[in-house]
Structure 1
Amino acid sequence: IYFYFSLTGCVTCLDHDEHYILTFPNGYGRQSLSLHTCIYNCRSILTVPWIELGGECSISCSKTGYNASIIFHTKPFYGGKKHRITAEIFSPNDKKPFCSIEGEWNGVMYAKYSTGENAVFIDTKKMPTIKKKVRKLEDQDDFESRCLWKDVTYNLKIRDIDAATAAKH
């Protein structure tokens, strides 16, 4: 399964009045669907299927000039690791990164600074889970995601596929 969409997001740092524009990686579902994909993608039948991120992304702040290039590496057909990520962070107007990052996007990422210092950049396994804050359905506009998809979600939860399909139209 191959999902492709192109979105740009904006993260606002209120304390510094900074806006970071970011792009997102592609998402891939690794699942054996036919003889062709079985031959092409045998890892799906030999291991547990997984969701994989792949492609290039960027993060930039027009106010500070800082930017980052990020690559989500897909697992090679033979060998290699899943969930790999590499990134380079640049100061304004610099062509050489002051920090390079590598690791797993869902695990530990390590930073290597231009000063020669190495450190753990982030360990996602040790990060606390923060519960999402969502407004009540009656306070949402008609086209906000949870309001728009509430009937589909409900019918999927009660395993009524026909009603869920009908609710999409």
Structure 2
Amino acid sequence: MDILAWNSLAAALIKDFDALPRPECNYLRLAFVDPDVRRLFTDWETTARTCVAYLRMDAMQYPDDPRLAALVGELSVKDPDFRKWWAAHDVAHKTCGTKTLNHPVAGTLTVDWEMLGCATDPDQQLMVMTAAPGSDSHDALHFLASWTRTTPSPATTPDLRGHS
């Protein structure tokens, strides 16, 4: 769940990833230890449980991965919910769904998310978040996108027809 790359709209929506040290750019870690990211998820418990179940799946594939073990250790010490859900051994491999976010500036947004696999590297995935065209959430994404550019141009203006 390391965040390897992002666009400016993702940073405006979730977190300014450029401001984080690289080791902290991890979706699961942010969901548990960053209070701003934690508050972002309207249904934090469902999001967090799903993240733990994804991590459990990764742990089954890579049981000796030292970075994964360090992350599990850190979160086990810092969060009792993580400890409890990790011990449950639930596994998930969901590739799409809907999240409701409570953005501190843009308000409530409902986004559909999808994980797209990489044919040449199955360990990497791209998360795409979209909002229904014409919806309040779509308008909120446009609003956030306006923060991400100073001079709009075809090369830098994101195509927001429902995408983030």
**Shorter-chain TM-score: what band?**
under 0.3
Larger-gyration structure (1/2) = 1
TM-score (norm 2): 0.25
TM-score (norm 1): 0.25
Decide which structure has greater strand share: 1
Decide which structure has greater helix share: 2
